[in-house]
Structure 1
Amino acid sequence: MRCEIPILLRCCFCFPLRYGLLVWAYLKQISSISFSTVMIIKLCHDYYRIQASGAVISSLIILLMILDIAFNVLFIISAHKKDYKKMRIFYRYSIAVLCLNVAIVGFCIAMYAYYVYVAPIMIIFIWSFMVPTLVMIIVMVFLQGYLIILVRSEFIKLKNNSQFEFVNHGADEKCTANLDFVKEIPGTV
């Protein structure tokens, strides 16, 4: 069964597509920078109290956030310059992030099912941690999917508009003539 992905003309059903994507990118960039700053400050402040595994996980999160900031900058530049090639790179990155988020949702559900089966008493302790995390990740999956559809729509629109060109066929005309030279000029009438 094949499903067509819709091509949207508006962002959030009311803003023009490119401007809505730019606002979305700037908001995402601000939130990524602020989250990275908080994580770095927290890691530096609690460095001696964090175990090795916690430091590795925090460092990995910070590295992923820096990667996200770099790709957001690439997307902002490509949206301003209307460069569909750079936007395609961000589109592929967004699909990879969506797959990562879906894998995290699957892991959280599997971990929850494991604790329900093995130690039902543990549900009381992890319930307050697991449910908000799972809800947040599911919301992120839906937002990331919507962003992918919007970026794909803008990418297709820019790609189709960049193929527009004028061709001057007037210069391609050829004029040929066969002239027979007669050595004797006929008399004038």
Structure 2
Amino acid sequence: MVLEFKKCCTCVPMRFGLAFWGYLKLLFDVVILFIRGFGIEMQPQIGLFSITTAFIVNNTVMVDFIMNIVFIIGCHRKKASLLFVYYVHSMVFLVITIFLCAYNFMTMATNIFYSEYNNPLVSLIAYFIYIGAHCYMIFILRSEITKLENNTESTTTEMTQPECTLKMIEDTEQQNEIE
């Protein structure tokens, strides 16, 4: 049994909610890239491990940025194929995000010199909220893909197999006499 939704957040059409999510993620990706870019330069001790971690995170965010553009185009053009590509990306990105969040939280928990401005509990709550919202949007996205594919199938079925209706002329003549 798969969850199917008719609306996003119970009141917004799915396509508009998904497009909003795409634009929001695009904005977050830009902000993350900006912050990560300056964060590496501001660290006094840059080791190979920090550079490797930054490289993985930055490349992951860059791929997400590109896929969000594909997703937004798919939403606006109602292309199920583009939405499906983003759907697969979202599933992979969710797994990567969970691993990165777990790694980040373990690093925060074990680092003695962790900054007082970064509270691990707040970060953990933010991670759970983001992962929960991401899962919800994956379900909404799957519902939209199913809806678009069903609309495409019904349109092609109607075009290839026209419905034959036969009306008796006598019935219409009798209705004209009654009126």
- TM-score, normalised to structure 2, is 0.74
Partner of residue 97 from structure 2, selected from 101, 109, 112: 101
Partner of residue 142 from structure 1, selected from 98, 121, 132: 132
Partner of residue 81 from structure 2, selected from 63, 81, 85: 85
Of structures 1 and 2, the larger Rg is shown by: 1
Name the counterpart of 2:51.
Answer: 55
Name the counterpart of 2:12.
Answer: 15
Of 30-39 and 100-109, the range deviating more from structure 2? 100-109
Amino acid in structure 2 at the alignment position of 1:90? Y
Q: What is the Cα deviation at residue 145 of structure 1?
A: 0.7
Residue 101 of structure 1 contacts residue 140 of structure 1 at CA under 8 Å; is this kept in 2? no
Of 94-103 and 23-32, the range deviating more from structure 2? 94-103
What SS is found at the alignment partner of 2:55? helix
What SS is found at the alignment partner of 1:13? coil
Partner of residue 160 from structure 2, selected from 137, 158, 167: 167
Q: What is the Cα deviation at residue 126 of structure 1?
A: 9.7
Distance 1:108 1:61 in 2: 11
Distance 1:42 1:104 in 2: 17
Name the counterpart of 2:147.
Answer: 157
Amino acid in structure 1 at the alignment position of 2:131? V
Residue 6 of structure 1 contacts residue 149 of structure 1 at CA under 8 Å; is this kept in 2? yes
Q: What is the Cα deviation at residue 46 of structure 1?
A: 2.9
Distance 2:86 2:98 in 1: 18
Residue 98 of structure 1 contacts residue 144 of structure 1 at CA under 8 Å; is this kept in 2? yes
Percent identity reads 22
What SS is found at the alignment partner of 2:160? coil
Amino acid in structure 1 at the alignment position of 2:141? V
Q: What is the Cα deviation at residue 52 of structure 1?
A: 2.2
Amino acid in structure 2 at the alignment position of 1:67? V
Q: What is the Cα deviation at residue 138 of structure 1?
A: 1.4
Distance 1:141 1:87 in 2: 19
Amino acid in structure 2 at the alignment position of 1:152? R
Equivalent residues, number:
158
- TM-score, normalised to structure 1, is 0.71
Distance 2:49 2:86 in 1: 31
Give CA deviations for 1:38-67 in whole Å, capped at 9, x if unaligned.
212333x33774222112212221111101
Name the counterpart of 1:28.
Answer: 25
What SS is found at the alignment partner of 1:7? coil
RMSD of aligned residue pairs (Cα, Å): 3.0
Give CA deviations for 1:115-137 in whole Å, capped at 9, x if unaligned.
7xxxxxx89x7996432232222
Name the counterpart of 2:61.
Answer: 65
